[in-house]
Structure 1
Amino acid sequence: MKRSERLIAMTNYLIEHPHQLVSLPFFTDVYDSAKSSISEDLGIINERFQKEGIGRLQTVPGAAGGVKYIPLNSKEKSESFVDELANKLEDPDRLLPGGYLFMSDLLGDPQTVRNIGRLFATHFAEHSIDVVVTVATKGIPLAYAVASFLNVPVVIVRRDPKVTEGSTVSINYVSGSSRKIQTMVLPKRSFSQGTNVLIIDDFMKAGGTINGMKSLLDEFEANVAGIGVLAEAEDEEEERVVDDYVSLLQISNVDIKNKKIDVHRGNLFQG
C-alpha cells in the first residue's frame, strides 16, 4: 500500500473510532508496514488534525499503549458557528408563546446537530464520560451527536415507562417553568454504580427538568460529570435551580409584542 493510501485509511479509521485506544501493532498488521513508518504517518495525521482545528492524537506510552483520536473544535470555529446559530435564532418568526423559540428545523439538520455535538464533546473531552443522558424528545439528536464524538452510549430518560425496558426507577419532580409535578423514569439496567454521566438538553429555563434528571441519577448512584444545554433563557423573575452547567447560547430580552429577541453566546464562551 502506498503511503498516501495508508494515510487515508488510517485517518478514516481514527475518525470512525474517537477516544478509542489503538495500538501501533494493530496498524502495522492491518497495513503490513513497519512500526517506524506507522509512527511517521501518525505524526503527519496529528499535525494535519491540529492545523485543521478538528482534534489531535493523544499518545499513550507503554506496552499496552497506542494512540487515541480526540475530536476537538478550534476556538475560532466554535465561536463562528455559535454566532451564526445565534443570528438564525434571532429571526422573530421563531418566537413562540411563553418566550420559547422554534428550533425544530435546526435540531433536524444533521450538519448543525453534528457541529453542536462536536462543540460539547470538545468541552467535555477530558471529563471521562461513560454515557450521555437526555430526556425525550428534542434533546435526543443532540445527545447522539455528542455521544458519537465521545464514543459512548446514550440513555434516554422518559416520561412514561415502556414495557420493553423492563423494571424501571421513577421519580416525581417539579417542572421549573410550569411548577407542575411531573414524572421521569429510567430502566434499572441503565447504569452501574459510579458511572460518569453527561447530561445534554436542548433548552433550559429554570432548570427543573435537568434537576429532576440529577435526582433520578442519584437513585442509581451515578456521578453527574457535566451538564450541557444548547440554549438557556435568561429570566430574572424565575430562580435558576441548576447552576453548574455550560450553555452554547443565551436568550434574553424576549419581546413577544414587538417580535424582538436577543440571542448571544452562552457561558461556555465567557471568562
Structure 2
Amino acid sequence: MNRAEKAALQLQAVAVLRMLKETRTYDELAELTGLPAGDLNRYVNGHVLPGIERAREVVQGVGRDALATELESRVEFDDEGYVDNSGVVFDQSFLDLVAPVAANTLGFERPDVVLTAATDGITLGAAMASYFDARVAYAKKSKETAVEEFIESRQRLASGIELTYYLPTRALSSGENVLIVDDLIRSGETQELLLDIALQSDADVTGVFALISVGTEGIDRAREITDAPVGALTTFDDE
C-alpha cells in the first residue's frame, strides 16, 4: 500500500466514524468500535488521523456492519415482496461510504471499468468507479440512437418475458478488468446478462457486488459463472 492509498484509507475511516457519530455519543461510539472516546473525538473533529491498522479495522469491520444496519433501516418491502431502496440509491454520500467498505471487505481487484445496469445501479456504479478511479459503463434495455455498434445480451425469463441489455461496443475493451455492480440481486438474471456482456468483450471480471441480496439464488448464480469474488452488503430473506 503506497502513501496515497494509506491516506485514502485513513480518510475513509474518518468518514465512517463521522457517520456513526451522527446518532451516537462518543462513549457509545467507543463501545461500538472498541476505541478510546478521546481518540474518536480527535478523529471525528479532524485533529488527527487514525493509524493504518485502526483505519482498516474501522472500514472492514465496524464500517461494514454499521453500513449494513443503516441500509436495512432504509429499505422497505411491500406485501408482494417488491423492494423500495430509494432511500439508499438516491443518497450519493452514503454510497460513497459503501464503496471503500465493499472494496476492502470483499477484496476486489482494481477494475478499469465498473459495469452496471440502468437505472438504479448507476449511482452505486458512480461511487465504486470514483473510489477505484475507474470508468463507469451502464447497459440499457434500449439502444441509443447515435450509437452504431452494441454488445447485446438476451435472456428469456421463467415468466416468458425476454430481457435484453445493450452496451455500446466502445465502452469495454478486450483485456480490461471489469467490476459488475448493481443495487439489488435476487434471481441473478440481470447479473448474468452483465457477466455475459463482459465475457463477450473478452474482459476480465474482477468481482460482482450488490447493495442488497434478496435470498441467495442470485449470488449462487453469479458464482457459477465467475471465479471472482461475489457478495452483497446485506442479505434479506426471500419470503
* Aligned counterparts of 2:189 and 2:160: Cα–Cα separation in 1: 8
Cα distance 1:96–1:235, how it changes in 2: closer, same or farther (>3 A)?
A: farther
Q: Matched residue pairs, number?
A: 192
Other-structure match for 1:209: 190
The alpha-carbon deviation at position 223 of structure 1 amounts to: 1.3
Cα 1:52–1:175 change in 2 (3 A) is farther
Matches within 5 A, 1:1-271: 15=8, 48=50, 50=52, 53=55, 73-89=59-75, 94-96=76-78, 98-123=80-105, 127-175=109-157, 178-234=159-215, 241-243=221-223, 245-252=230-237, 254=239
Q: Distance in 1 between matches of 2:113 and 2:106?
A: 12
CA RMSD, Structure 1 to Structure 2 (Å): 3.1
Q: CA deviation at 1:97?
A: 5.2
Does the CA-based 8 Å contact 1:117-1:143 persist in structure 2?
no
Q: Normalised by the size of structure 1, how large is the TM-score? A: 0.62
What is the CA–CA distance in structure 2 between the aligned matches of 1:175 and 1:144, rounded to whole Å? 28
Aligned-pair CA distance for 1:80: 1.8
Q: Could you tell me how far 1:103 is from its partner in structure 2? A: 0.7
Q: Is the 8 A contact 1:125 1:150 kept in 2?
A: no
> What is the alpha-carbon distance in structure 1 between the residues aligned to residue 106 and residue 219 of structure 2?
26
Q: Residues 101 and 47 of structure 1: is their aligned pair in 2 closer, same or farther, counting only changes over 3 Å?
A: same
Please tell me the residue identity of whatever aligns with 1:210.
Q
- Comparing 95-104 with 149-158, greater Cα deviation is found at 95-104
- Which has more helix, going by share of residues? 2
When normalised by structure 2's length, the TM-score is 0.69
CA apart distance, 1:86: 1.9
Q: CA deviation at 1:88?
A: 3.4
Determine the C-alpha separation between the residues in 2 that align with 1:223 and 1:174.
25
Query: Structure 1: 5+ residue runs without aligned partners?
Result: 1-9, 19-45, 56-71, 255-271
Q: Secondary structure at the match of 2:207?
A: strand
**SS of structure 2 residue aligned to 1:128:** coil
The C-alpha deviation readout for 1:199-248, integer Å capped at 9, x for no partner, is 00111111011001111222111111100011111178x99532362011
Question: Is the CA contact (8 Å cut-off) linking 1:231 and 1:248 kept in structure 2?
Answer: yes
Q: Is the 8 A contact 2:106 2:231 kept in 1?
A: no
The CA distance in 2 between the partners of 1:187 and 1:111, in whole Å, is: 29
Contact 1:175-1:209 at 8 Å conserved across structures: no
In proportion to residue count, which structure has more strand?
1
In the alignment, the residues of structure 2 paired with residue 140 and residue 239 of structure 1 have an alpha-carbon distance, to the nearest angstrom, of 20
**Structure 2: how far apart are the matches of 1:153 and 1:253?**
33
| Contact residue 205 and residue 240 of structure 1 kept, 8 A | no
The SS at the match of 2:164 is strand
Is residue 134–residue 143 contact of structure 1 (8 Å, CA) maintained in 2?
yes
Equivalent residue for 1:267? none
Compare CA radii of gyration and give the structure with the larger one.
Answer: 1
Identity rate, percent: 21
Show structure 1 runs of 4+ deviating over 3 A: 46-49, 123-126
Task: Work out whether residues 118 and 145 of structure 1, in 8 Å CA contact, stay in contact via their aligned partners in 2.
Answer: no
Distance 1:242 1:51 in 2: 32
- The alignment partner of 2:115 has SS state of strand
